[in-house]
Every structure is written in structure tokens, then in C-alpha cells.
Amino acid sequence: MLRDNITSSGVSGSSGTSGTSGTSSIFPSIFIDSTSGDVYYYDETRNKNLGIATIQTDAGRNNDIVTNIYLRGEGNTPTNLNGFVLPWNATLIHISMSGRSNTQIWSAQVRVNGGAIPVDFLTISNQFSKYDSTKNTDFNAGDRVQIFCSGVNIEYPRVTLFFRRRF
């Protein structure tokens, strides 16, 4: 893939054979994928190239009380029946979750392709909401992402996952 390096002045260039050009005083360096036109950067925290655009999916249950159940996504479809399909290789970078009560303990489990073992999770303890912006879990293009609420008598759980394309 050819990539162009954007310099601090906003001017880009290319060098034909190496695929990159110039040096950048912008930290981090920002690149453009010449195949897709997507802009990406090197994420020093996660040690990988990630797109600057964020894609999110969320799921929840519009029930007063749920126990150990897959949450529902858009169209009220349970995510275990038809999970969110990633269109490209991606990295989960953030999870946020909330509920109606601040007296409950439950986990939002991220599962993939019908597997019963979570590949990532976030647990809330006696709070209305919680988030974690340090996630670094890789997924492949075509993976079906499911969100499971692990807890007893949870009131109106809601979970949002944030992904960035991985280059």
C-alpha cells in the first residue's frame, strides 16, 4: 500500500518507490492510504497504525430487569443472532456502559463469532456509568461482534463499543 506522509505545513508528497515521503514535525505522523483514501496514524499507546475515524456500535435492553443475556443492537436484534460485522481489520479502543441503577454489579462482555468466552470486558460496580479508553483488542474483517450482559437483575443495560480501522 502506498502511503503519503503529511508534513506539518499540510503539504503531502510521494516518492514512487518507497511509498513514503518527507519527514513530518507533526506528532504522531499522519498518513493517507492510497488504496482506500483513509487517513491513519501510528498510535504509540497501542503500538499500531490506526485510522483516525471511529466506528461505534451499541447494544442494550429495553427491559426493567435482565439476567445474563445478550444485548440487542439496532433493529432490536439480539447480538448473538446477528452481531455487528466489522468491515475491515479493527481494534477496539473504548468501551462505555451504563444502567438505570447505581446499586448493581455487572460486566459488559465482548464476544466474537458466537464464542462463549469474552475477548474483552468492562465491569461496573455500583455506578450509573463507566468507560475505559485504554482498550487494545484486535478483530479481523468479517468478525461478528456480540455484547453480553453478565449480571443478575440488571436494569436497562446499555453498552457502546468504539473501534478504529487497523492498518
Q: Residue 129's domain is classified under what CATH number? A: 2.60.120
| Total-model pTM | 0.83
**Choice among 19-28, 83-92, 113-122 with the minimum mean pLDDT:** 19-28
Q: Would you state the pLDDT for residue 63?
A: 83
Do residues 23 and 40 lie in contact, with contact meaning Cβ atoms separated by under 8 Å?
Answer: no
d(CA 145, CA 166): 16
In which band, very low, low, confident or very high, does the pLDDT at 26 lie, cut at 50, 70 and 90?
low
Total domains, the chain? 2
Among 30, 51, 72, the domain-final residue is 51
d(CA 125, CA 114): 27
Start-to-end CA span in the chain (Å): 10
**Choice among 22-31, 33-42, 64-73 with the minimum mean pLDDT:** 22-31
Question: Count of H helices and E strands in the chain?
Answer: 0, 14
Same domain (yes/no): 98, 62? yes
**Coil, strand, or helix at residue 165?**
strand
Same domain (yes/no): 58, 24? no
- Domain containing 115 equals 54-166
d(CA 141, CA 61): 27
Q: Would you state the pLDDT for residue 152?
A: 96
Same domain (yes/no): 43, 121? no
Q: What is the 3-state secondary structure (H, E, C) of 115-140?
A: CCCCCEEEEEECCCEEEECCCCEEEC
